[in-house]
Amino acid sequence: MDGTVGGGAQKADGGLAAALRAARRVVVLTGAGASAESGIPTFRDALTGLWERFDPARLATPEAFEADPGLVWGWYVWRREQIARCRTNPAHDAVTRLQRAVRARGGTVTVVTQNVDDLHERAGAEDVVHLHGAIAASRCSVCGAPAESEAAPETRAASDTAGPEIRTGGARIAPPACPVCGGPVRPSVVWFGEALPRGEWLRAEAAAARADLLLSVGTSSTVYPAAELPHTAARAGARIVQVNPSPTGLESIVRDDVRARAGAALPGLID
C-alpha cells in the first residue's frame, strides 16, 4: 500500500494529483454515495415509511413488482419526486469538470453510473453510461412499449391525496395501464435478476478495459456486474482511486483510498 494524503485518505500515493492531471483514458464509476449529498438515500440507508420493513434489493425486483405492483410503483413515484426536488452536489459538478479538462487535452472520461437519477446530466456530464437504467423513464411490463412515467390521473389523485405520506414514503399507487396492451407500467430501471442493457454494459466494459485511471465514487462495490469494472481496469494496468467514507470490498486493488464524502473530497482532487 502506498503512503497517505490528508483528507482522511487511508492510503494514497503522493502522485495522485499528478496522475489525475496526466490521465487520458479515465472511467468514473459512481454509485448511490455520489448522490447522497444531494439528499438521495443510498441503498444501504434504511428506507422510510411503508417500505422501511423492506430491503431495497427485495423491492427492486420483478418478483416484488409482480407480487405487489402498487407497493413497488409507489416506491418509485416517491423516489422520482425525491430526485426531482434534489440538486446536484459538488461531487457531480467535479466529475463534469474532470470530463471537460481531460477532453480538453484530447483524452476521454467515461462516466459510468449505477444510479438511476439524472444528476450527472443535470451537472453537465455528457455521454453518461447508465448501467441500471433511468428512473424517469417507464415502459410496459408486458409488451415493453414506452409509457408515461406520470401516474395515471386516477392514481395520481390517490398519491396527491396521499400527499404527506407519499412525501415521507408510504403509499401504494396503482401503476398506470399500458396504452398499447393494458399491462401494468413499470420503471425503466434494471432490477436485481435482470440483465443490464447490452449496449451500456459493453460501453462500460470497453472503457474499463482501456482505462489508465478508474475513479470509484460512492459505491459499496457489491452489485454485479458493475462491481467487476474496477477489476477489469486494474487488469489493464489502470490506477484505481476510491472515494468513499467507508471501506468497501475494493481495497486490495485500490492505490489511492480517499476515505471521505465525495462532495467534500472530489473538488479538491479534481481542481
Residue 41 or 107: the one with the smaller Cβ distance to ligand BV8 is: 41
Least distance between ligand BV8 and beta carbon 107 (Å): 24
DSSP state letter for 51: G
Answer yes or no: is 268 a known binding residue. Answer: no
Sheet holding 213-217, edge to edge: 9-11, 256-258, 239-243, 213-217, 25-30, 108-113, 129-130
Taking CB atoms, the residue at the shortest distance from ligand BV8 is: 33
Give me the catalytic one of 120, 130, 132, 231: 132
Beta strands in the chain (DSSP E): 9-11, 25-30, 108-113, 129-130, 133-140, 146-147, 185-189, 213-217, 239-243, 256-258
Point out which residues bind ligand BV8 (CB under 6 A). Answer: 31-33, 36-37, 42-44, 57, 60, 114-116, 132, 189-195, 218-220, 222-225, 243-246, 248, 261-263
Q: Are 188 and 139 in contact (CB under 8 A)?
A: yes
130 is catalytic: no
Answer yes or no: is 76 a known binding residue. Answer: yes
Residue 36 or 102: the one with the smaller Cβ distance to ligand BV8 is: 36
Residue 173 or 190: the one with the smaller Cβ distance to ligand BV8 is: 190
Rounded Cα gap, residues 71 and 63, in angstroms: 12
Least distance between ligand BV8 and beta carbon 24 (Å): 25
